[in-house]
Structure 1
Amino acid sequence: MTRILLLGGTGDALQIARRLGPDHVYSLAGLGKVPTDLACTVRVGGFGGADGLARYLDDERIGLLVDATHPYAAQISANAFAASRAAHVPCWALRRPAWQPQTGDDWRMVDNWAELTSALAPFSRPLFTLGREPLAHLDEIPAHQHWIVRCLEAHPGNAQARILDARGPFTVEGERSLFSASRIDVVISKNSGGNATEAKLEVARERSLPVIMLRRPDLPSVEREFTRAADLLDALQTLIS
């Protein structure tokens, strides 16, 4: 049997983790809810960079590293790539396909926070769906704006920001209600791909609202890459059975 270390934190990763037995390890950064119903070992916290991860692979006799982290977790993916090379352990990755703009979409692509805030300047009621990053900027909100920030954890807002702690999947009906009640005039999103959070893009399209889209980071190429969790699970069957 090949012992597997699964780097997760996404719904796809959890789907894979539910198929792993007690000899395998599911690793989480610890920023979200930690599952308590898995048969595999659950490890929470960092490794100490690529060097620490390489030591862990060696110490725990890991035979396969699987990177199923978020498409924007670029540093973790880079560390996984470097550690796998240093420890001579193969690395597979789940690379969720990005969303593609459709007819009627008004996507405004940005690369960083500075470009994002510049693109946001003409609007007054943005919906942020970037996770925790906007929380560090709540004291920088321009006077003419009121932010709606959706992330996984509860967090205090202020006079110009409402924080929604919510976890997908989100429905089109639910997003329509949120957009109407909050008078959203622009959406800020990562191009995460998948179905769980795509409804916001459909509602933005219906309402002819712009979407400020953060470009995906470049991720390293590994031995095997998969675009669907089901395909990765199929490939893992001979290793986890």
Structure 2
Amino acid sequence: MTARILLLGGTGDALAIARTLGAPHIYSLAGLGRVPADLACAVRVGGFGGALGLARFLAEEDIALVLDATHPYAAQISANAARACEAAHVPYWALRRAPWQPQPGDDWRMVNGWAGVIEALAPFARPLFTLGREPLAHLDEVPERQHWTIRCLDAHPGHARARVIDARGPFTPEGERKLFTEACIDVVVSKNSGGAATEAKLAVAREMGLPVVMMRRPPLPDAQREFASAQQAIDALANDIQRSLNA
């Protein structure tokens, strides 16, 4: 019998891995964004109830391996997964996508958390937020001299001093130039997510001489095995599945 894998996802890398999995493996999503309909593996939507709830799930579902391919900034989910795996004596693997690195001509302003973002934005008038949903919780705090453009997965009406764009990458340099110009963007706010799907904004910011307020990655738990790309994880999973079939 093939050992069951629990894939913790929500990123494009995770979806690439999920498309290689069949029954009886499970692809777990927090519930944000669209649920893919073209997968052979089971799809689970929603939380587990913290580390203890996840540990119970691992035992009840006879999970033999957890692969954490969540967003690099989903620190709490990763911490819960590592603790649950330790408690349940289940191997914990992690996909740690390489962060972007500043290039010649970049003007990155590194910050920690939302308070750091707001402080760094004080001199600017037309920021573009590419942080996901977080700015939506602060729409009532937009300073009178600023107008925010917020790009995330969720449609939202915004208000007089904020425009919300619901869009999903990959984004192109041409599209980013058009957005930056039409919205009169004077600073870009980003997480250092890594990957190619949303990197065009950094290239266009460099090209246009715009600063980037970059949120540092949170610390993540140690993994028993780490991968830098989805393909590395897919190859390792294929080898382990084959070994389990031959056992």
Partner Cα separation in structure 2 for residue 194 and residue 223 of structure 1:
23
Count of matched residue positions in the alignment of Structure 1 and Structure 2: 241
Tell me the residue number matched to 2:245: none
> Cα deviation per residue 1:109-163 (whole Å; 9 max; x = unaligned)?
1101111101101100000000000000000000110000000010111000000
Task: Quote how far apart the aligned CAs of 1:239 are.
Answer: 3.5
| 4+ aligned runs moved over 3 Å, structure 1 | none
Q: Which residues of 2 match residues 1-241 of structure 1 at below 5 A?
A: 1-241=2-242
Equivalent position amino acid for 2:139 in 1: L
- On the 8 A contact 1:172/1:202 being kept in 2, the answer is yes
The answer to whether the 8 A contact 1:21-1:240 is kept is no
Q: Whole-Å Cα distance in 2 between the matches of residues 90 and 104 of structure 1?
A: 42
Structure 1's unaligned 5+ residue stretches are: none
- The CA distance in 1 between the partners of 2:66 and 2:74, in whole Å, is 16
Query: Matches of 1:48 and 1:165 in 2, distance apart?
Result: 29
Aligned-partner Cα distance in 1 for 2:241–2:41: 11
Distance 2:158 2:241 in 1: 45
Aligned-residue identity in percent = 71
TM-score by length of structure 2 reads 0.96
Counterpart amino acid of 1:206?
Answer: E
Deviation at 1:173, TM superposition (A): 0.5
Query: RMSD of the TM alignment (CA)?
Result: 0.7
Aligned-partner SS, 1:34 = coil
Q: Would you say the 8 A contact 1:151–1:167 is kept in 2? A: yes
Structure 2 residue runs of 5 or longer lacking an equivalent are 243-247
Amino acid corresponding to residue 12 of structure 1 in structure 2: D
Q: What is the CA deviation profile of residues 38-76 of structure 1, one whole-angstrom value per residue up to 9, with x for unaligned ones?
A: 100000000000000000000000000000000000000
User: 1:17 is aligned with what amino acid?
Assistant: A
Residue type of the partner of 1:171?
A: T
Amino acid at match of 1:66: L
Give the counterpart letter for 1:15 in structure 2.
A
> Following TM superposition, by how much is the alpha carbon of 1:36 offset from its aligned partner in structure 2, in angstroms?
1.2
